[in-house]
Amino acid sequence: MKNTTLKPRTPVYIIGSASVVGQQERKGPIGASFDISEKDDFGMDSFEKAEAKMQCLALGCAMSKAGLTEADLDCMLAGDLINQCISSSYGLMDYRIPYFGLYGACSTCAEGLLLGALSGLDRCAAVTSSHFCSAERQFRFPLEYGGQRPPTSQWTVTGSGAFILSTLERDCVRVQGDFVPEITELLPGCIVDRGISDAGNMGAAMAPAAADTLERYFQAGHTPEESDLIVTGDLGHLGMDLLLQLARDDGMNLGGKLTDCGTLVFDNTVQDVHAGGSGCGCSASVLAGHILQCMAKGIWNRVLFAATGALMSTTSSQQGQSIPGICHAVAIENEVK
Amino acid sequence: MKNTTLKPRTPVYIIGSASVVGQQERKGPIGASFDISEKDDFGMDSFEKAEAKMQCLALGCAMSKAGLTEADLDCMLAGDLINQCISSSYGLMDYRIPYFGLYGACSTCAEGLLLGALSGLDRCAAVTSSHFCSAERQFRFPLEYGGQRPPTSQWTVTGSGAFILSTLERDCVRVQGDFVPEITELLPGCIVDRGISDAGNMGAAMAPAAADTLERYFQAGHTPEESDLIVTGDLGHLGMDLLLQLARDDGMNLGGKLTDCGTLVFDNTVQDVHAGGSGCGCSASVLAGHILQCMAKGIWNRVLFAATGALMSTTSSQQGQSIPGICHAVAIENEVK
C-alpha cells in the first residue's frame, strides 16, 4: 500500500444527486434538504421492498435532475446492508443499466463514488440505501419484539442517496449552472479491527477506521486547512467523540473541521435516536441533500467526505468475532464555472 | 446503456493467480490444477471461518507467485456469498491493503476482475470464495438437518480464487516468463429476472442473464470464432442446457465454443453433485487453476470468461420474490512475449 491518495485520471463531476428519506429524517434538523420523503413503508408490503423502492426513486430523481435516461449511463454501482444486498438488486433491476453490486456497510456511498470516479467511464451512478425497520429486523430484533436499544446504539436512517458521475465536460456545462461539484481526490480505506464486539456500539467499531484513513490522508501531505469541512459518516455522537480522542492521542490535527453525518441528520435532544444516525442511507442522503446544497450556496468549497462502515454480520457476531471497520474518503470541490 | 464493450485504457495483465479448494473439488476431474487443498474445515472451528481462511491463503499464494507483498498492492476487490460478505472482510483484514467489498453472487470473480481492470491502478487483487457448508447452512438447511437436495440443485464449490492485476509492463516481464494473460475487453452485465423463484434451481435463474450478456457481446460486433472458449460460470448442466436453448431460440450462434465452470469442476457421473458446481469460488478457482493453465500451455489463446450470479437471498425468497441473475464478461488473451 502506498502512502498517497489517488486522483481520477480525468475530471469527474457530480452532475446530479438525489435523496429519499422516511418520516423521522424529514422531521430532523436538515429535513428540508431531502428531495423526496414518504411514509416509511413507501406503499410496499414489506420494509425490504420499501427500501428497494427508495433506491429506485433516488436513482430516477438523480437521472432526471441530470437530464439523463438509463440509455445514457454506462453502469450503476450500488449496495446496502440487507443480506445479499437485495435492496439494491431488486430496487434497481428495472433500470436497463449494467450493475455492479457493492458491500461496504455504511461506507458504501463513498465506495461507489470512489470506484465510479476511478473507472473513468463517461457516466455512472452510485446508489445506496438503508431502512430502520429492515436493519433492526435483520441485525437486532424485529420491531414487534419491542427490544430496548442501548444508549450507545445508533438509529439506522431510512434513506437513500443517488449520484450521477460524469467525465464529460459538456454534461457539467449543461446541467447545473454555476455549481458543479467535482471529485478531486480519493483514498480507499483499509479494514481496521480494534476488537470491539458490541453490536450495539457501531461508533466505537468505526472510529478507529476513520482515524486510520484520516491519518493516511494527512500523511499524504494534506492539511486540515485545505478543507472547509471533514465529514465522517456515520460515527454518531459517541463515535465522533472517540475519533476526536484517537486524533488527540495520535497527535493528529483535525483543525476543528470535523462533523459527522450521523450527528447532522437527527437532533437527539428531541428525537429518540440515542447516539445519532447510521446506515448506508445516512451519509448518502446527507451528502446528496445538506452537504451538496451548502456547497452550492458557497458555504463550503472543499469537503472531505469520509464515510465509515462497520463490516459486521449477525453470523460473525454469533461466532464471537469482533467488528471490523472501514473508512473510504472522497474529496469534493466546488468547481465554479 | 451503450451497445459496446469496454476496453481497459492501459493494458491489464494477470501477473499472479491462485486457487484454494476443499476435498470434493480436489477429487474432481480438474483437481490437480488447484494450488492448495485442505480438509473442508481448514483447521478452523466454523465453516465461515474456514471460508475466510481460504481467501487469506489464496491471496497470499497469488501475491507470492507474483513476487509481491501487500505493500505493492493499491487495493483488493473481494466478495462472497455469506451475509455481509464476512468471508472476505475477515479473511483479508490482516492484509494492510485498501479494500473494496463487492457483492455479485457467483459472478463476483468477474466483477472484481472487471472493476480492477477499469480502475487503471498499478496493481490490485481480485479475490472471492464460497464454501459448500456455509452456503448450505445460510441459503438452504444446515448439513445436520440432512435435507434432500433436488436434482436441479448445484453443489456450492468449497474454493477460493485470487488474481493479481497489474498495468505495469515491468511486472509481466518479470513474473511469468512467456505466459502473461491480458484482460483485453470487458462487458458488465445488467440484472435480468425471468421470474424463476425456485431457490433449488439456480441454473435456470442465471441462464437468461448469461444469454443477455452474450447477446450484447455479439451485438457489439464480436463473433464466436474470435474466442477459443466461451466459459460461463456457474450455470451447471441444467443451466448450460437452458442457455443453449435460449441461444437457439434467439438465433445466437455460440459456435460450439461454450463450456461452464460448474460442469468442469465435478464429474457428476461419479460425484453426487446433482446439476454441477456453483458458488463464487467455482468460477474463481476454475479460472485460476484449469483455464489459465490451459492458456499457459497454448491450448486456448483467447477465453471469454462470463461469470453468472443469482442475486437471491433467503429474505427475498421468503417474501415470494423471484431470483434475478447477472452475468459479467471478461475477455482474457494469451499475450505471448
Q: Could B6 and A102 be called an inter-chain contact, meaning their C-beta atoms sit closer than 8 Å?
A: no
Locate cell 406503499: which residue? A43
Contact between B319 and A48 using a beta-carbon 8 Å cutoff: yes
Which of B1, B79, B312 lies nearest to residue A97, judging by beta carbons?
B1
Among candidate residues A75, A89, A47, the one with its CA nearest the CA of residue B311: A89
* Alpha carbon of B189: minimum distance to chain A alpha carbons (Å): 5
Quick check: B193 contacting A, CB < 8 Å? yes
A313 touches chain B (CB under 8 A): yes
3 state SS of A30: coil
Any residues with CB less than 8 A from the CB of B33 and at least 6 apart, and which? B19, B289, B290, B293
CA distance A59 to A113: 14
Do the Cβ atoms of B103 and A97 come within 8 Å? no
Q: From CA A25, how far away is CA B336, in angstroms rounded?
A: 58
Q: Which of A84, A312, A316 to mutate to test the interface with B (most CBs of B within 10 A)?
A: A84
Preferred mutation among B59, B103, B128 to probe A, highest tally of A CBs within 10 A: B103
Nearest Cα residue in chain A from B191: A93
Identity of the residue in A48, A103, A312 whose CB atom sits nearest the CB atom of B315? A48
Contact in structure between B158 and B25 (CB atoms under 8 Å): yes
Q: Could you say which residues from 240 to 299 on chain A have a Cβ atom under 8 Å away from some Cβ of chain B?
A: none
b/e for B9-41, b at 16 or more Cβ within 10 A? eebbbbbbbbbbbbebbbebebbebbbbbbebe
Long-range Cβ contacts of B216-223 (<8 Å, 24+ apart): B216/B3, B216/B187, B217/B5, B217/B187, B217/B304, B217/B306, B217/B329, B218/B252, B218/B253, B219/B3, B220/B3, B220/B4, B220/B5, B220/B187, B222/B5, B223/B255
* pLDDT interval class at B337 (50, 70, 90): very low
Partners of residue A120 in chain B, C-beta under 8 Å: 9, 118, 120
pLDDT at A302: 97
Q: Cβ–Cβ of A86/B49 closer than 8 Å? A: no
* Nearest-by-CA chain A residue for B313: A84
Question: pLDDT digit string (tens) for B37-72?
Answer: 999 999 999 999 999 999 999 999 999 999 999 999
ipTM: 0.97
The two beta strands, A229-233 and A302-310, are parallel
CA distance A16 to chain B (A): 17
Task: Establish if A85 touches chain B: CB-CB under 8 angstroms.
Answer: yes
CB contact under 8 A, A315 and B1: no
B2 touches chain A (CB under 8 A): yes
Give A167 to chain B, closest Cα distance, Å: 14
Note down pLDDT in tens along chain A; length 337 residues. 677 899 999 999 999 999 999 999 999 999 999 999 999 999 999 999 999 999 999 999 999 999 999 999 999 999 999 999 999 999 999 999 999 999 999 999 999 999 999 999 999 999 999 999 999 999 999 999 999 999 999 999 999 999 999 999 999 888 766 678 999 999 999 999 999 999 999 999 999 999 999 999 999 999 999 999 999 989 999 999 999 999 999 999 998 999 999 999 999 999 999 999 999 999 999 999 999 999 999 999 999 999 999 999 999 999 999 999 999 999 999 965 4
DSSP 8-state symbol, A62: H
Residues of chain B in contact with residue A101, where contact means CB-CB under 8 angstroms, are 79, 102-105, 111, 311, 326
Bridge partners of residue B181, in order along the sequence: B334
Tell me if chain B has a CB within 8 Å of the CB of A39. no
Of A6, A46, A118, the CB nearest to B319: A46
φ/ψ of B54, rounded to 5, equals -60, -40
Q: Do B326 and A48 lie within an 8 Å CB cutoff? A: no
Q: Which pLDDT score, from 0 to 100, does residue B145 have? A: 94
A190·B99 Cβ contact <8 A: yes
Tell me if residue B310 falls in helix, strand or coil: strand
What pLDDT sits at residue B3? Answer: 73
pLDDT above 90 for B176: no
Give pLDDT, residue A214: 98
Task: Give chain A positions within 8 Å (CB) of B111.
Answer: 100-101
Distance CA B236, CA B109 (A): 17
Asked whether B333 and B316 are in contact (CB, 8 A), the reply is no
- Decide if pLDDT at B138 tops 70: yes
* Chain B residues in contact with A188 (beta carbon < 8 A): 75, 98-100
Tens of pLDDT along B246-272?
Answer: 999 999 999 899 999 999 999 999 999
Is A189 at the interface with chain B, CB within 8 A? yes
Residue B78 near residue B115 (C-beta atoms within 8 A): no
Asked whether the beta carbons of residue B193 and residue A48 sit closer than 8 angstroms, the reply is: no
User: In angstroms, rounded to a whole number, what is the distance separating the alpha carbons of residues A318 and B167?
Assistant: 41
Of B1, B193, B315, the CB nearest to A86: B315
Indicate the residue of A85, A120, A326 with minimum beta-carbon distance to B99.
A326
pLDDT band (50, 70, 90) for residue B158: very high
Q: Mean of the pLDDT values across residues B171-191?
A: 87
Which one of B90, B101, B193 has the shortest CB-CB distance to A316? B90
Show which of residues 99-158 on chain A sit within 8 Å of chain B, judged by CB atoms. 99-105, 111, 114-115, 118-121, 138
Contacts of A115 in chain B (CB under 8 A): 100, 115, 119
Separation CA B305–CA A95 (nearest Å): 24
The torsion defined by the Cα of B52, B56, B61 and B64, in degrees rounded to 10, comes to: 170
| Interchain CB distance below 8 Å, A103 and B85 | yes
Other residues' Cβ atoms within 10 Å of the Cβ of residue A57: 21
Say whether pLDDT at B336 is over 70: no
Q: What is the mean pLDDT of chain B?
A: 95
Helices (H), A159-301: 169-175, 202-219, 236-249, 261-264, 280-286, 292-296
| B187 chain-A contacts, CB cut-off 8 A | 98
Cβ pair B79, B107 in contact under 8 A: no
Judging contacts by C-beta atoms under 8 Å, the chain B residues touching residue A129 are none
